[in-house]
Amino acid sequence: MCGRTACTLAPDVLCKACSYKKNKSDEYTQVEWRSSSDGKEYNQAFNFVPTFYGPVMISKRHLDANAPVENRVIQPMMWGIIPRWHKGSPTKHKMTTNNCRIEGLTESRLYKDPLSKGQRCVVLCEGFYEWKRPENKGGSKQPYIIYFPQPEGISIFEPETWKDRLDELWSKENGWKGPKPLTFAGLFDVWKSPEDGSIIYSYSVITMDSCTAFSWIHERMPAILETEDDVNSWLDYTHVPAQEAISKLKASTILTCHPVSADVNYARNEGSHLTKAIDLNKPKPLSASGKFMANWLGKASPAKIDKSSCVSPPKEGVKRQLTMKDPVQGTSAKKIKEDEPSV
């Protein structure tokens, strides 16, 4: 599955990073950037969640019938396809559409129409988060960030290794030599509001069974387009039929990953620290109840405690329900245990 990503690269960096050769030219061309159809801005975030607007690459012909199909455009779209039959607020359709399973694409009421129309897209981000289940009962899920291997001396999560070298990292002759963003295979659709007639482009990420090299983290993974040929084949809906394009999608085996802070578990948390590698051998900081207990035991002498006047410390493992504001939907939501991701 894929329910959280890191997506912060600036438009000019993405346009360079997705450079391609067109018309059988020997030179590279930067991808064109276009604003979203409904005026919404790209929501750059280290904790990028469904309903945010993220960069999506499509054939320019979808926007201009006279454009060559090989020409490409990057446009911010909303994560989570809006069902075309939905009426009302675009985020209130009550369906989980951030992912679409490859196994049912051709039969799905929601996805088969965009697929048949060639509305295939490439979803861009630095990496996606996934949670490894604990080996022992009662343990915590450990989040990891998964991404492409990077050029030597460059880290996509450390802009200081490349941000001041953009001019030298791209050229018409050699293309892009900087950080390599992930490229997911996805589908997009166009929804028209029955209320005000506004047009919204939205997308879903295609998922499949994980390869054995990745299944130790999770049994599902996004369909990754590893090469330029993969990207071109997926976007070229005029020459590559849907069934053929789907058959070419494979579980990637070239990804790399590292463990990250459990701070990413909560959608409200944000910041570059979420993508930084952590040391799993380093003792984890105490929880609030653990700190309370340690402080209580450290200060109190058993001989001086009047048990009748003491307040018992919180029991370990007890869930504390706390109402908070959901940053994505803006609705009231219940806080869950810290060892589970909250989208």
Give the residue numbers annotated as catalytic, written as ranges.
Answer: 2, 130
In a 13 Å sphere around the CA of 79, the CA atoms on its Cβ side amount to: 28
Closest-CA residue to 297 (of 282, 309, 310): 310
Burial class (CB in 10 A: 0-12, 13-18, 19+), 127: buried
- Integer Cα distance of 278 and 140 in angstroms: 15
Cα 277 to the center of its chain, rounded Å: 18
SS3 18: coil
Return phi, psi of residue 154, to 5°. Answer: -125, 135
Indicate the pairing of strand 72-79 with strand 99-101.
unpaired
Burial class (CB in 10 A: 0-12, 13-18, 19+), 319: exposed
Closest-CA residue to 116 (of 1, 208, 246): 246
Closest-CA residue to 142 (of 284, 237, 288): 284
Q: Who's near 340: CB < 8 A, 6+ residues apart?
A: 131, 141, 265
Q: Which tokens belong to 263?
A: 């701070």
| Amino acid identity for residue 321 in this structure | Q
Q: Who's near 243: CB < 8 A, 6+ residues apart?
A: 106
